[in-house]
Amino acid sequence: MSDHRQEEHHEQHIDTVGTYVGVLVALLFLTGLTTAVAYVDLGAFSTVVALAIAVTKMLLVALFFMHVRHSTRLTKLVVVGGLMWLMILLLLTMTDFVTRGRIGVPGK
Amino acid sequence: MITEAAVEREHYLNASYGLKSWLLTKDHKRIGLLYLATITLFFFIGGAFATLIRVELLTPQGDLVSSQTYNKLFTMHGVAMIFFFLIPSIPAVLGNFFLPIMIGARDLAFPKLNLLSWYLLVIGGAFSLFAMIAGGVDTGWTFYTPYSTSYSNSWVISTALGIFVAGFSSILTGLNFIVTVHRMRAPGMTWFRMPLFVWANYATSLIQVLGTPVLAVTIVLLFVERVFHLGIFDPARGGDPVLFQHLFWFYSHPAVYIMILPSMGVVSEIISTFSRKSVFGYGFVAFSSVAIAVLGFLVWGHHLFVSGQSLYAGMVFSFLSYFVAIPSAIKVFNWTATLYKGSIVFQTPMLYAFGFIGLFTVGGLTGLFLAALGMDIHVTDTYFVIAHFHYIMVGGALMGYLGGMHFWWPKMTGRMYPEGWAKLSALVIFLGFNLTFFPQFILGYLGMPRRYHAYPEEFQVLNVLSTAGASVLAVGYLIPMIYFIWSLRYGKIAPANPWGATGLEWRTSSPPPVHNFEETPIVSHDAYDYSTVMGEEIEVG
Amino acid sequence: MADHSLTNHAQTESLALRVQFDTAAQQKDASQLGMWIFLITEIMFFGGMFAAYTVYRNWYPEVFAIASSSLNAVLGAINTGVLLLSSFTMVMAVRAGQLGQQKMIIIFLILTLLFGGVFLGVKAIEWKEKFDEHHIPGQAAFHLEGLKDYDQGHAQLFFSLYFAMTGLHALHMVIGVGIILTLIMQAKKGIYSADYYTPVDVAGLYWHFVDVIWIFLFPLLYLIDRHLGK
């Protein structure tokens, strides 16, 4: 048989209920944490902390609930690629918005 | 219709009959033909608008239509041609039909989703068509805010909704292709044995999947701003219309590559087949498709040079735009190198491929003018831009599509087209095209702005030339339409491999059986290995 | 060498193996890959709104902070918890699928549906509050307390984004609820087993993804510089 059509049967990974409960508890804790920390004045860092917690939660959901840690390399590539494209959209758009007025628009 | 002479062999066309067997088909080949009918309709609708535009521009005065009507004409020409013809053209017709066969699969990974994609295009087309009939839309195909959200009194919502729905057709087709290429290849069909047409469609699918959703959400935001008065792009509330342009072009610049990349794939197939040589630098050509897809996402800001974007961003986007030239040039040089010492045969598809290379090169090089920040400010919104992108989209994408239609017509229908008429029409199209659009480069450079129905008298000679060319072009497009239909009944019966080509699609009968192959092919050669077709009957020339 | 003849496949076509595939594993891989690619398109879909959000928050940080503080953060946090619970029950349904426990699939799917419903209900209450408080962009009556007239427009931008983002998120939830309802009906027919539970699996991916979007929406919309409000 072909090595392409016949993908090898991935080892079925069945996580324990304990793992999932652990992840859920961590997610709920982080939700509380991000809410509480919003009331503390961290200056510019408040956004950083909020996003760091959100990214952590995303990783927990993706790796455990969405089984990315047991997935094929291709799936991981798809996930990373998607996030990279989001970054392209955000960064190149912001290239314009954060530099407006710093060098000035031609003709002004 | 093909029964008389052909032995009573069952194939995908005669396997079942009746309207229902087409409208509910899951066969990728039949869905390809459904797309063919749909996009041909939109091609002629878009062509009709183009005709009216060119007739109006015969004289300097705006005497045929009002400026308001003229705005609608060029808008609807753009909407019909871009969203309902060019974007679905090669992927949805030829890609749908041949991508699974070329990798030795029985169908796409998700046949029902494939049928749904066609219905989405039809529904989206119906919305946009309704808008055109009900009174038209006048925002330009780009729907720039705030005109589209606050001021235009035309059918913006219906048109935009149509494009939104058709966008999902495009997304789902891309998704289907990507999964199919990853999971459905025949035994022995490794990535680097895949035909370059498959590589090109794979790269196109990446763009469709990554870019189209941004257009979709942009249309949603436009919709909620126009209907519910949410104010995301509203300058009166501190919003920024330029943000709309960023989001719009994040999709719409890569969309140019959705149109041109599959054509490049077709050209790779044709050049190799009709010079009977393996494509020079196969790996480079394959990767250049992916490189164009990726780099295409980094350059959208060159559409915003004069929109109030920051000068810094303008320089960054101008700089990045040049990088797209590299993979594009790799392709052109490698096609040329493929021809070197080849046994070149001037069949119709080859004429289109040559036309593509020449016209795409002109379009690409003038694109470099426009990517240069300083030069662009001089020619922004002039006919120079119009000429440039028509060289890419008509001279490039459409030539590739027609070349592919001729190349694969025998396989799709089991009939040969009349070679003499086909060569004549290829020539007519090439001449008509250049006569139409080359004068527009000069007009633009002299300063004639786009999107006006009247112009100063000194521009009339060049405009008359352009309109004359458009008439020739129209004849060139009608001829294939007629002889393709004619050939369905009267064309010579096509053998399995009329061109002596190497792809898997030529190893199955013409037209192919329902599940493409009598038995799953096992691939043991590189693409374009002509030693594999030696000894077979070859009817070239 | 496996027999590739077509009649063979045509005869054996079933839910677990469609005619275009050779093996059940190939079909399952294709479905999963297809869903992941769909989720990428969803990232880009919401990405457009995140881009708009980034731009305007960057331009009007103070107004965004004040507007954000008018949202009910406690309710938002509780709702986030409810949604995370629904993700947990969803993954338990997938686990039940892996183990072939038909009853448990149905029970966990119903629980997921329940939590999803609670989330949407709370969301509806929050939206209703916004209507009562005249925080609806585009209405002449729009007024956000504590802001100068000049800034009211910028506050409208915040609420435009708030309604667009939470609205489209809620729409995805409604679609998810529809999918889960379908799954429950199918599961009651007993078609899922340890060999074939792909629909539950890919629906799970979708549900978790919608959850992840909310994980970002919550701090970005509800929790901007809350300390300023005190």
For residue range B403-447, list pLDDT tens digits in order.
Answer: 999 999 999 999 999 999 999 999 999 999 999 999 999 999 999
Give me the amino acid identity at B262: P
Inter-CA distances, B396 with B41, B134, B262, B274, B433, Å: 20, 33, 10, 19, 11
The answer on A52 and A30 residing in a single domain is: yes
* B21 belongs to a structural domain: no
Bridge partner list, C17: C14
Provide the pLDDT for residue A6: 41
Least confident of A82-86, A96-100, B202-206: A96-100
* Contact call for residues C165 and C217 (beta carbons, < 8 A): yes
Contact B183 C33 (CB under 8 A): yes
Backbone angles phi, psi at A105, to 5 degrees: -90, 135
Contacts of C126 (CB under 8 A, 6+ apart): C71, C72, C75, C76
Provide the H-helix boundaries in B453-496: 460-490
Tokens of C222: 């509800």
What is the Cβ-side half-sphere exposure of residue C78, based on CA atoms within 13 angstroms? 9
Same domain, A20 and A65: yes
CB–CB of B247 and C160 under 8 A?
A: no
Give the torsion through C-alpha atoms of B295, B299, B303, B309, to 10 deg.
160
Place of tokens 């990507």: B178
Residue A2 lies in a domain: no
pLDDT under 70 in chain B at which residues? 1-8, 534-541
Specify burial of residue B7 (Cβ count, 10 A radius: 0-12, 13-18, 19+). Answer: exposed
Is B242 an 8 Å CB contact of chain C? no
pLDDT value of position B541? 39
A96:B210 CB<8 A: no
How far is the C-alpha of C208 from the C-alpha of C204, rounded, in Å? 6
Domain count, chain A: 2
Give me the domain span that covers residue A80: 72-101
Angle at B287 between CA B286 and CA B290, to 5 degrees: 105
Q: Closest Cα of chain C to A26: distance in Å?
A: 10
Whether pLDDT at C9 is above 70: no
The single-letter DSSP state of residue B495 is -
- Which of C41, C51, C164 lies nearest to residue B224, judging by beta carbons? C164
Question: What confidence category does residue C11 fall into, taking pLDDT thresholds of 50, 70 and 90?
Answer: very low
pLDDT, one tens digit per residue, over C152-173 is 999 999 999 999 999 999 999 9
User: Is residue A4 over pLDDT 80?
Assistant: no
- Domain membership flag for residue A84: yes
Residue of C nearest to A4 (CA): C26
Same domain for A41 and A54, yes or no, is yes
Distance CA A23, CA A20 (A): 5
The two three-digit tokens of residue B70, written as one number:
């003229």
Q: Three-state SS string across C33-89, please?
A: HHHHHHHHHHHHHHHHHHHHHHHHHHHCHHHHHHHHHCCCHHHHHHHHHHHHHHHHH
Structural domain boundaries, residue C159: 24-229
Are B235 and B271 in contact, with CB atoms under 8 Å apart?
no
Measure the CA–CA gap between C162 and B408, rounded to whole angstroms. Answer: 51
Report yes or no on A77 lying in a domain: yes
Contact, A15 vs A64, CB < 8 A? yes
- Please tell me the predicted confidence (pLDDT) of residue C15: 72
CB B128 within 8 A of CB B158: yes
Task: Note whether residue A21 is domain-resident.
Answer: yes
Nearest to C77 among A35, A46, A62 (CB): A35
Residue C4 forms contact with A (CB below 8 Å): no
How many folded domains does chain B comprise? 1
Tell me, yes or no, whether A5 lies in a domain.
no
Looking at beta carbons, which residues of chain C come within 8 Å of B219? none
What pLDDT is recorded for position B8? Answer: 62
pLDDT value, residue C139? 87
- Chains with 3+ CB–CB pairs under 8 A to C are A, B
Query: What pLDDT sits at residue A105?
Result: 55
Contact A62 C92 (CB under 8 A): no
pLDDT for B540 equals: 45
State the Cα–Cα distance between residues C86 and C121, nearest whole angstrom. 14
CA distance A65 to chain B (A): 23
- C70-90 pLDDT, tens digit per residue, is 999 999 999 999 999 999 999
Contacts of C16 (CB under 8 A, 6+ apart): C24, C27, C195, C196
Distance from CA of B404 to the nearest CA of C (A): 26
C7 burial via Cβ count (<10 Å: 0-12, 13-18, 19+): exposed
d(CA B195, CA A11): 33
Instruction: Give residue B323's Cα distance to chain centre.
Output: 22
Q: Which amino acid is at C160?
A: S
Neighbours of C175 (CB within 10 A): 12
In a domain? residue B1: no
CA pseudo-torsion sign B373, B377, B380, B385: negative
Decide if C15 is inside a domain.
Answer: no
Mean pLDDT (whole number) for C43-59: 96
Interface of C with A in 48-67 (CB under 8 A): 48, 50-51, 54-55, 58-59
Question: Are the beta carbons of C34 and B109 closer than 8 angstroms?
Answer: yes
Does residue C56 carry a pLDDT above 60?
Answer: yes
Helices (H) and strands (E) in chain C, counts: 7, 0
Q: For residues B439 and B357, what is the distance between their CA atoms, to the nearest angstrom?
A: 20
Tell me whether residue C197 is in a domain: yes
- One domain, residues A81 and A56: no
Q: Which pLDDT belongs to residue C229?
A: 59
In this complex, do B311 and A105 lie within 8 Å of one another by their Cβ atoms? Answer: yes
One domain, residues A76 and A63: no
Residue C145 — pLDDT band, cuts 50, 70, 90?
Answer: confident
Are residues A22 and A35 both part of a single domain? yes
Give Cα separations from C188 to B307, B490, C39, C115, C182 (angstroms).
58, 56, 28, 20, 10
Retrieve residue B440's tokens: 């527009």
Do residues C89 and A24 touch, judged by C-beta distance below 8 A? no
> In this structure, are A37 and A64 located in the same domain?
yes
Tokens of C109: 């799917």
Q: What pLDDT is recorded for position B64?
A: 94
**Dihedrals phi, psi of B382, to nearest 5 degrees:** -115, 175
The whole-number pLDDT of residue C149 equals: 87
CB distance C199 to C183 below 8 Å: yes
B48 Rama class: left (phi>0) / alpha (psi -120 to 50) / beta: alpha
**Rounded Cα gap, residues B127 and B118, in angstroms:** 14
What does the pLDDT read at residue C140?
A: 86
Cis before B187 (ω within 30)? no
CB-nearest partner of A34 from C37, C39, C219: C219
CATH number at residue C218: 1.20.120.80
- Pick from B279, B252, B277, B276: which is nearest to B264 by CA? B279
pLDDT tens digits, C172-194: 999 999 999 999 999 999 999 99
Name the residue range of residue B138's domain: 28-534
B18, with CB counted inside 10 A (0-12, 13-18, 19+), is exposed
CATH number for the domain that contains residue B395: 1.20.210.10
What is residue C1's three-state secondary structure? coil
User: Which residue do the tokens 């079942």 mark?
Assistant: B16
Q: In sequence order, which residues have a C-beta less than 8 Å from that of residue C93 and are 6 or more positions away?
A: C104, C105, C108, C109, C112, C200, C204
Is A56 inside any structural domain? Answer: yes
Interface test with A, best of C209, C225, C228, C230 (most A CBs within 10 A): C225
How many beta carbons lie within 10 A of that of residue B245, not counting itself? 25
Question: Does C1 fall in a domain?
Answer: no
**C-alpha pair distances (Å), B369 with each of B172, B257, B376, B388, C166:** 35, 18, 7, 10, 43
Q: Are B93 and B9 in contact (CB under 8 A)?
A: no
Residues A76 and A61 in one domain: no
**Residues A80 and A93 reside in one and the same domain:** yes
The two structure tokens encoding residue C221: 């919309």
